[in-house]
């Protein structure tokens, strides 16, 4: 079983913010794979299903970004899943808008949600799918930037990126991480 966690903040106020691209990728997977996210327990919304013969749990923590690890640990414990079977999808300021990068283990890169998961799971050996949201304009605080919505022209690009990110997760599940990385590398180098 694999747990696919999209990071974001709960509530309508945050729904379309840059920080919530992880939630949106999980929503995209839910829709395309017909896995309803209909359960609310363990400080998360989640759905259970199969993608390419792989049992999966799609998760959107309800703990707010900085405490995401609480929900992830509870879900992982409930389904007896180790950190190596997690795929965490999150926004990344250091990637240009629309870029995707797969990363195996590593530090948190300053991302509070990833840091919370590392602390809660007792290690960093989980897979990350980073979704580029770009750097804030000069003079804009990064904290304010990630909690703002995309401009109209950027929203069109990010919608396309969300589809590509969902497809990348599907490739990871069906063909493995290396195949997903190779698919992304056809455009740009993606693995750290």
Mean pLDDT to the nearest integer, 58-74: 94
Rounded distance, CA 12 to CA 34, Å?
23
What is the overall mean pLDDT for the chain? 91
Q: What pLDDT does residue 191 have?
A: 45
Q: Is residue 192 part of a domain?
A: no
pTM of the model: 0.90
Domain extent, residue 123, equals: 2-185
CATH number for the domain spanning 31: value is 3.40.50.1470
Q: What pLDDT does residue 187 have?
A: 56
Rounded distance, CA 191 to CA 29, Å?
22
Are 4 and 46 spatial neighbours (Cβ–Cβ below 8 Å)? no
Using DSSP bridges, classify how beta strands 44-51 and 54-61 pair: parallel, antiparallel or unpaired.
Answer: antiparallel
Exactly one of 19, 45, 90, 111 is catalytic; name it: 19
Q: Is residue 116 part of a domain?
A: yes
Q: What pLDDT does residue 176 have?
A: 85
Q: Is residue 83 part of a domain?
A: yes
Q: How many domains does the chain have?
A: 1
pLDDT at 185 over 80: no
Instruction: Answer yes or no: 90 catalytic.
Output: no
């Amino acid at each position: 079983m694999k747990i696919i966690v999209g990071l974001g903040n709960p509530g309508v106020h945050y729904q379309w913010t840059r920080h919530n691209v992880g939630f949106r990728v999980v929503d995209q997977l839910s829709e395309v794979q017909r896995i309803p996210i209909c359960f609310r327990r363990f400080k998360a919304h989640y759905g259970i299903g199969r993608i390419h013969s792989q049992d999966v749990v799609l998760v959107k923590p309800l703990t707010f970004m900085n405490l995401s690890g609480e929900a992830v640990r509870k879900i992982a414990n409930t389904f007896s899943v180790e950190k190596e079977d997690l795929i965490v999808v999150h926004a990344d300021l250091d990637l240009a808008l629309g870029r995707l990068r797969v990363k195996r283990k590593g530090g948190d890169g300053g991302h509070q949600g990833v840091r919370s998961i590392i602390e809660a799971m007792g290690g960093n050996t989980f897979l990350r799918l980073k979704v580029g949201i770009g750097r804030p304009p000069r003079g804009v605080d990064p904290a304010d930037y990630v909690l703002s919505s995309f401009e109209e022209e950027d929203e069109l690009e990010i919608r396309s990126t969300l589809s590509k990110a969902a497809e990348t997760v599907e490739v990871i599940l069906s063909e493995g991480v290396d195949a997903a990385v190779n698919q992304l590398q056809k455009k740009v180098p993606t693995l750290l």
